[in-house]
A and B are shown apart, each in its own frame.
Chain A
């Protein structure tokens, strides 16, 4: 599976997340991640990881602001 699919699975499957935490290399190998993807995860470079994930699917990543202060009266 792809890195994006792997991370998606970890979000909802506690046993897979546990396995990843216990042995990240084995969990990524068992999931079939490419060498490039495994190195990317181990780099812990969030910007590169997010850019890689966004590049493999639709949608933009952007910074959500869901609050806006009201101007004083």
Chain B
């Protein structure tokens, strides 16, 4: 018990307040720490828990205009090298370490294949913050969640009776890394595609979770037709509510009623 060789944890979206006690304990115990976090405050928090975190960022592997897939592979290889060399390696990622985050899952997969004991701990993701801040319960109408570029160029079938969350809307179509804004020439392609399921006047929300304690999220609601490069940043997530209500499955519902499971 608790003898893992690789543990992947997340800081949550707002490190002050969302870093779990369990994650803190693994960070403190780690022989090696590797992290992909957003800012110096997060590095300070990790370093206070374990001084070895001060010089163990993986974010130096990003490069302006460098394909992100190349960086992620380098990150995974670095993680694996540390796993092989140490007793316990803890990898700390921003947000939830397994949501819209490739290196953690891939490192776990490779480490497990090499016979190491591994674990990923859940953490607060941008979508979790979105649900809380926008008052959305995914149980109400269901929730489809996809990466924006994926929907743009693949043959996805969207259900307009269910909620839709599009991640990384502020980087759609740009597979490289930028410290500033991404190239969003492909955004109109995505908007045009969404018209297959939503009318242009359908209200959508550009959302950015608060990163600092006491601050409010950015919530900008506008018609789908108004979605442009000017209203999104690399931190943005797009929330699209249902465009119409769903009908009952007539046959199944009649069969269900015949069972008389719920009375009153």
Given contacts A63-B233, A68-B68, A68-B175, contact A53 B39 (CB under 8 A): yes
Interface residues on B, range: 35 or more
How many angstroms from the CA of A5 to the CA of B15 in the assembled complex?
Answer: 13
Q: Are A65 and B211 in contact (CB under 8 A)?
A: no
Q: How many residues of A are in contact with the other chain, CB < 8 A?
A: 34
Q: Which of B48, B149, B168, B212 contacts A8 (CB 8 A)?
A: B48
Given contacts A53-B40, A64-B94, A65-B234, contact A71 B153 (CB under 8 A): yes
Q: Which residue of A lies closest to B42 (CB)?
A: A11
Write out the residue numbers on chain A whose beta carbons fall within 8 Å of the beta carbon of B149. Answer: 68-69
Q: Which residue of B lies closest to A46 (CB)?
A: B215
Write out the residue numbers on chain A whose beta carbons fall within 8 Å of the beta carbon of B213. Answer: 7, 10, 20
Q: Which residue of B lies closest to A59 (CB)?
A: B40
Confirm or deny: B88 has a beta carbon within 8 angstroms of a beta carbon on chain A.
no
Q: Are B94 and A4 in contact (CB under 8 A)?
A: no
Q: Which of B45, B69, B101 contacts A11 (CB 8 A)?
A: B45
* Chain A residues numbered 59-73 whose CB sits less than 8 Å from any CB in chain B: 59-69, 71-72
Confirm or deny: B72 has a beta carbon within 8 angstroms of a beta carbon on chain A.
yes
Q: Which of B16-24, B109-117, B251-259 contacts A (4 or more CB under 8 A)?
A: B16-24
Given contacts A57-B44, A66-B36, contact A50 B212 (CB under 8 A): yes
Least CB distance, B239 to chain A, in whole angstroms: 18
**A1-43 interface mask toward B, CB cutoff 8 Å, 1 = contact, 0 = none?**
0001101111110000100100010000000000000000100
Q: Which residue of A lies closest to B236 (CB)?
A: A63
Q: Which residue of B lies closest to A8 (CB)?
A: B44
Q: Are A66 and B102 in contact (CB under 8 A)?
A: yes
Confirm or deny: B147 has a beta carbon within 8 angstroms of a beta carbon on chain A.
yes
Q: Which residue of A lies closest to B171 (CB)?
A: A65
Q: Are A64 and B171 in contact (CB under 8 A)?
A: no
**B77-103 interface mask toward A, CB cutoff 8 Å, 1 = contact, 0 = none?**
000000000000000011000001111
Write out the residue numbers on chain B whose beta carbons fall within 8 Å of the beta carbon of A9. Answer: 48
Q: Which residue of A lies closest to B168 (CB)?
A: A65
* Chain B residues numbered 29-50 whose CB sits less than 8 Å from any CB in chain A: 36-41, 43-45, 48-49
Write out the residue numbers on chain A whose beta carbons fall within 8 Å of the beta carbon of B171. Answer: 65
